[in-house]
Amino acid sequence: MQNTGIIITGSGSAVPAACLENSAMTALVDTSDEWITTRTGIKKRRIASEKESLSGLAAVASLQAIAMAGITAQDIDLILLATSTPDDLYGSACKVQAALGANRAVAFDLTAACSGFIFGMVTAAQYVNTGVFKNVLVIGADIHSRWVNWQDRTTCVLFGDGAGAVVMQASSSNNLLGFELRSDGSQNHYLNLGYTQESQQLTKDITVGKGNYQHVTMNGKEVYRFAAQKVPEVIDKALFRANISVENVDWLLLHQANQRILDTVAQRLGIPDHKVISNLANYGNTSAASIPLALDEAVRAGKIKNNHIIAASGFGAGLTWGAAIFKWGK
């Protein structure tokens, strides 16, 4: 009988070498360490250099996850890269595939901004549940330093760069216990990295829009309001689908956007602080990378152990949000 359950068996992460602390931000914008810390919880963030690439960070994280899972790159059937900031608009998953030597794997990008990793896990699960693939590599990676306005203190202080990955494998048991995904395009305008165009006339009758992208724009107040309301709701729904009470959750693992959001969501769910995973202070908002990056750190630190139940939730541009309840390990 074919195994169509799912276990999550390996994790990995990678960040750029350069570290930009809050104190250095004062030379760029009108801000202070106290202003940033009290409003966000962020103390520093990693920033990719001109020579570093998203696919490079993703490959390093992936190799770690593959090694922890005890398989080889040749065993990978599918590579799913969740990112909003690829090296190439046509996608970067295939570059990661080549870097890993995973030449058996199908590879493609998925874009759901800061919800991307959760959406990626759930998408990957469908391929395993239906018996199509056995070993799936799910990556969350973003380099937002390329796209923020370094003169806008409302956004540039928030973002950092990084990558994280997990290996999901077919098994007779199923450790992806429940999930819920949501989208609301009517609120799309609250968080954007929008296309902008410059008119270019080709002929007397034909004018095209020569493409570029504007900087990241965000209505922070509305995004906070959205997250504080919707994230507890979607986690509750996922817990219901998993038939698990909140008291049985070992760890709350949220997208690392803002410490105030983490605190509010935990409070509304009745989850104590010691069960909340947070590395926001050291990395800032790494978008699709934030959940797997925090997960990998907690696993390697020995905090997350085999069979621990994790309630994970991502939320962000789209607007998109979702939650997945899963057990860690084999």
Q: What is the pLDDT of residues 248-269, one digit of tens each?
A: 999 999 999 999 999 999 999 9
As a whole number, mean pLDDT of residues 206-224 equals 90
Residue 1 pLDDT: 62
pLDDT category of residue 212 using cuts at 50, 70 and 90: confident
6 contacts 168 by C-beta, under 8 angstroms: yes
Q: Return the domain boundaries, the chain.
A: 1-330
Q: What is the pLDDT of residues 134-156, one digit of tens each?
A: 999 999 999 999 999 999 989 99
pLDDT category of residue 198 using cuts at 50, 70 and 90: confident
Task: Name the phi and psi angles at 311, rounded to 5.
Answer: -105, 110
Name the average pLDDT for the chain: 96
Q: What is the pLDDT of residues 88-104, one digit of tens each?
A: 999 999 999 999 999 99
Residue 129 pLDDT: 95
Using alpha carbons, list the distances in angstroms from residue 179 to 62, 284, 324.
24, 26, 4
Residue 38 pLDDT: 94
- The residues assigned a catalytic role are 114, 255, 285
Q: Which of 40-54, 138-152, 199-213 has the lowest average pLDDT? A: 199-213
Pairing of strands 251-254, 276-277: parallel
249 contacts 239 by C-beta, under 8 angstroms: yes
Does this model's pTM top 0.85? Answer: yes
As a whole number, mean pLDDT of residues 228-244 equals 97
pLDDT category of residue 197 using cuts at 50, 70 and 90: confident
Share of the chain above pLDDT 90, in %: 92
Tokens of 139: 């990556």
Pick among 3.40.50.2300, 3.40.47.10, 3.40.50.620, 3.40.50.720: CATH of 1-330:
3.40.47.10
As a whole number, mean pLDDT of residues 56-60 equals 98
Number of residues in the chain: 330
